Amino acid sequence: MENGIGEVLITEAEIKHKVSELAQRLTVDYEHKGLTIIGILNGSLIFLSDLIRHIPFPVRIDTIRANAYAGDSIFPKGEVDIINSISLSIKDEHVLIVDDILDTGKTLSKIVQIIEKHNPLSIEVCVLLNKAARREVEIVPDYCCFEIENEFVVGYGLDFDNKYRNLPYIAVLGEYR
Ligand code: IMP
Ligand code: MG
């Protein structure tokens, strides 16, 4: 096992299966009306790129860059910085916001508010992981691949101190500091 990594919670095969199932659901729900996907960087990087390659109809893609953590901490700093916003026009478009994980809910609820100001026809939220026990701001994902317990996890885009995003599976963070 790689240095600093604990138990593997979700394997690469399990992720692949769920991501392709999710793409099928999105196809049923959006193919006839069109879709603009907005990924939250950096965490959604791997999930977003795998998901969109399973979608068989033309989607528009944009990203927002947000930052909820201060450096090498597993505790959110309590406020969310938006570093880069979208550049596509989403007025009268159906929008799906994609992130790695819903934790306290602060990041996604802030991003939903920002996106609402662009007057899209609809906004839905899609996450790879949901850590419902940690919620501070009420927000329920419209699409979610896996529910997880209150543990700090890394891999498949999720980082600790900007490391471990490249792991192809999701694991609990082991010893750190
Ligand atoms: P929230 O604003 O508390 O919902 O958290 C949003 C961001 O915190 C996510 O997009 C992740 O980048 C990060 N985050 C929350 N939980 C974890 C975790 O267990 N591992 C790695 N990053 C996490
Ligand atoms: Mg993130």
**42 preceded by a cis bond (ω within 30 of 0):** yes
Q: Could you give the residue numbers annotated as active site?
A: 103
How many CA within 13 A on the CB side of residue 156?
28
**Residue 100 CA, ligand 2 centroid: distance in Å:** 6
Q: pTM of this prediction? A: 0.93
Ligand 1 neighbour 68 (Cβ under 6 A): yes
What is the number of the ligand closest to the CA of 66?
2
Predicted pLDDT at 69: 64
H helices present in 31-145, as ranges = 45-53, 106-116
Q: Over the chain (177 residues), what is each successive 10-residue block's mean pLDDT?
A: 83 98 98 97 96 98 84 70 85 98 94 94 98 95 97 96 96 77
Question: How many distinct helices (H) and strands (E) make up the chain?
Answer: 3, 9
Closest ligand 1 atom, residue 151 Cα: 19
